[in-house]
């Protein structure tokens, strides 16, 4: 496993969420009060992009059916979502966000 450079942390200004490619996968990156998190960008319920959703604190709302996930863990916390999205470790270095994708499917489960 290795760290993959994604986007500048400043790209999260405003909405607090943005998408990036990491290791060939689409990842959603989040800024929650200066703490950075990453999950797979695809909702496990409706196949929508979470990076197009609304971030409220540590919860991301899927733009398709308004299900909620905790960006810290990927856990589903609001119906109709019941399957976790995979989460990834994130680090900030020289103003850039790095994600450790590792092996396996980016579709669900996992934790940071």
Find, among 85, 83, 89, 93, the residue nearest to 102 by Cα: 89
Confidence (pTM): 0.88
pLDDT score at 82: 94
CATH architecture of the domain covering 3-100: 3-layer Sandwich (2.102)
Q: What is the per-residue pLDDT across 75-103, written as a single tens digit (0 to 9) for each?
A: 999 999 999 999 999 999 999 999 998 75
pLDDT tens-digit readout, 53-72: 999 999 999 999 999 999 99
pLDDT(109) > 90: no
How would you class 77 by CB atoms within 10 Å of its CB: exposed for 0-12, middle for 13-18, buried for 19 or more?
Answer: middle
Query: Residue 46 has what pLDDT?
Result: 84
The domain spans of the chain are 3-100
Instruction: State the pLDDT at residue 111.
Output: 37
């Amino acid at each position: 496993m290795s760290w993959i450079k994604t986007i500048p942390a400043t790209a999260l200004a405003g909405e607090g969420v943005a998408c990036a490619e990491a290791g060939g996968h689409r990842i959603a990156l989040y800024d929650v009060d200066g703490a950075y998190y990453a999950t797979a960008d695809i909702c496990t319920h409706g196949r929508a992009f979470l990076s197009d959703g609304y971030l409220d604190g540590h919860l991301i709302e899927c733009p398709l059916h308004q299900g909620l996930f905790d960006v810290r863990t990927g856990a589903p916390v609001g119906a109709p979502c019941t399957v976790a999205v995979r989460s990834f470790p994130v680090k900030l270095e020289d103003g850039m966000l790095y994600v450790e994708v590792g092996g396996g499917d980016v579709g669900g489960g996992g934790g940071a």
